[in-house]
Amino acid sequence: MNNCPTISLPHGVRDILPEEARKISEVEAKVLPVFESHGFEGIRTPMLEYVDVLSLGMGKGLQDQAIKFIDPSTGRVVAMRPDTTAQIARVVATRMRNYPFPIKLCYNQNVVRYPGSQNSKSREIQQIGAEYFSADTTPEADADMISMAITALKALGLENFKVDIGDVAFLRSILDHLEISEEEQAGIKNAIAIKDSSALSILLDKVSGISDTDRTLLINLTTFYGEGEVLERAAELVKGEPAEAVLENLKRIYSLVCSSGHSENVTIDLGEVRGFDYYTGTIFEGFASGVGSAIFSGGRYDNLLEKYGQSASATGFAFDVENIVAALDRENSGKTDTEL
């Protein structure tokens, strides 16, 4: 019998061998200078945090995904960071409170999460991200962040990708003025999240007090995805504030990103409600051909700093390095196929 322990690794983590490590280094070497040239400075945050401190800024989704244990020396519950944004918000609101706005920070570090879905792959995710803190919320800030992400992807040589822009405040503003229960709101939101128009119309049939205009708008939200014309179609159906203001803001962001020469790479999805609980406005995600999940994601989180004692407008995003390497591999193998 063999007495050696089985040489294996815990679920969801892996070794990265030189061939792949080289590819990752190339991504780092091309992306970080783009962020730096836009005035972002590097920051590092600790791998461990107290759960109660992290929980101030993190919604239940992320809290549940954190790997936690009890610190033997203090008896307090400690988590490995499941997300860097909330940590940076804590740093900006506390240690950096005397720095003048705007504050622009970027990072390149790993987060550790229990996978969200059964099929999910990695527990340890390398992220290269950027966070932008300012006194006011402006569409220009969101557009700059989106354009910077696109510039970085283009610097990597990636061609076939889309950045999809939405706004969590859009659906929220429609739901808020309906007189329905929280449970009904959640049901509607979940159906829209998976673009399930059939389930949505069954739900809406059961809820009383929804006008025909609102009903049409909600059902249409499941199809309001695609190119810029989606914004025009939505504008015809949206009446009244604050939904109109949200739509105007999105239009402005879309046209700013397009006029930076990125019109080929942006799409709109008004029915997108995914993402972290701390998002308050514009959200955006990057997708590439042949990679099944997002290559980066981000959004506005104007209420997060308040949780740590200071208020500021904020927006940011994080590249999923593994997925970006996969997208580059995919595109490069496609190119050699054509040449052959």
Q: Which is nearer to another protein, 178 or 237 (CB)?
A: 237
| Largest Cα–Cα separation, the chain | 75
Classify residue 309 as left (phi > 0), alpha (psi -120 to 50) or beta: left
Q: Which is nearer to another protein, 32 or 325 (CB)?
A: 325
Query: Which residue is associated with the tokens 């995600």?
Result: 285
Q: How many residues does the chain have?
A: 340
13 phi, psi to nearest 5 deg: -125, 160
- The answer to whether 165 touches 230, Cβ cutoff 8 Å, is no
Q: Which is nearer to another protein, 9 or 340 (CB)?
A: 340
Element (H, E) at 202: helix 197-206
Q: Which is nearer to another protein, 182 or 337 (CB)?
A: 337
**Smallest distance, Å, CB 180 to another protein?**
22
**Smallest distance, Å, CB 196 to another protein?**
5
Q: Which is nearer to another protein, 39 or 226 (CB)?
A: 226
**Smallest distance, Å, CB 117 to another protein?**
5
Binding site for another protein (CB under 8 A): 116-119, 160, 162, 164, 194-199, 222-223, 225-227, 267, 269, 285, 287-294, 334-335, 337-338
Radius of gyration of the chain (CA): 21
**Smallest distance, Å, CB 122 to another protein?**
13
Element (H, E) at 232: helix 229-237
Q: Which is nearer to another protein, 89 or 171 (CB)?
A: 171
Q: Which is nearer to another protein, 28 or 196 (CB)?
A: 196
**Smallest distance, Å, CB 170 to another protein?**
17
d(CA 141, CA 146): 9
Q: Which is nearer to another protein, 57 or 299 (CB)?
A: 299
In sequence order, the 6+-apart residues with CB closer than 8 A to the CB of 194 are: none
Which amino acid is present at 294?
A
DSSP codes of every residue in 76-137? -EEEE-S-SHHHHHHHHHTTTTTSPSPEEEEEEEEEE---SSTT---SEEEEEEEEEEESS-
**Smallest distance, Å, CB 96 to another protein?**
35
**Smallest distance, Å, CB 337 to another protein?**
6
**Smallest distance, Å, CB 162 to another protein?**
5
